[in-house]
Copies of this chain bind each other. A is one copy, B any other.
Amino acid sequence: MTNNQLDQLRHQLDDVNIRLLDMINQRGQLVKQIGDLKKGQGMKAFDPVREREMLDHIIEHHKGPFEYATIEHLFKEIFKAAKELQEDDHRKTLLV
């Protein structure tokens, strides 16, 4: 019975992992679109003020169980990954 419960929770965790993955990738696509739009307008892709605004918005909506510092750390890693995605695109453009 208890092992059944553990299996069930693990299945739920696997589902949440895949939904997280989809959302991270969806976020990556959006950041690429924003980067392209900004490049077209001669604007810099990275904007530290906007990054701080996004973090503030996230922190406002946070209810736990994680600490604020953990959430901020995770999102900074997610932001960094998206920045690298834009830089990769830029490097590829230079190589063509």
Contact = CB atoms under 8 A, between A and B. Distances in A.
Interface of A: 2, 5-6, 9-10, 12-14, 16-21, 23-34, 37-38, 40-41, 50, 54, 57-58, 61-66, 70-71, 73-75, 77-78, 81, 84-85
Q: How many copies does the complex hold?
A: 2
Given A37-B5, A37-B6, A81-B74, A28 B66 contact: yes
Most buried by B among A29, A41, A58, A70: A70
A63 B25 contact: yes
Contacts of A63: 25
A70 B70 CA distance: 19
Nearest to A5: B37
A27 to B, nearest CB: 5
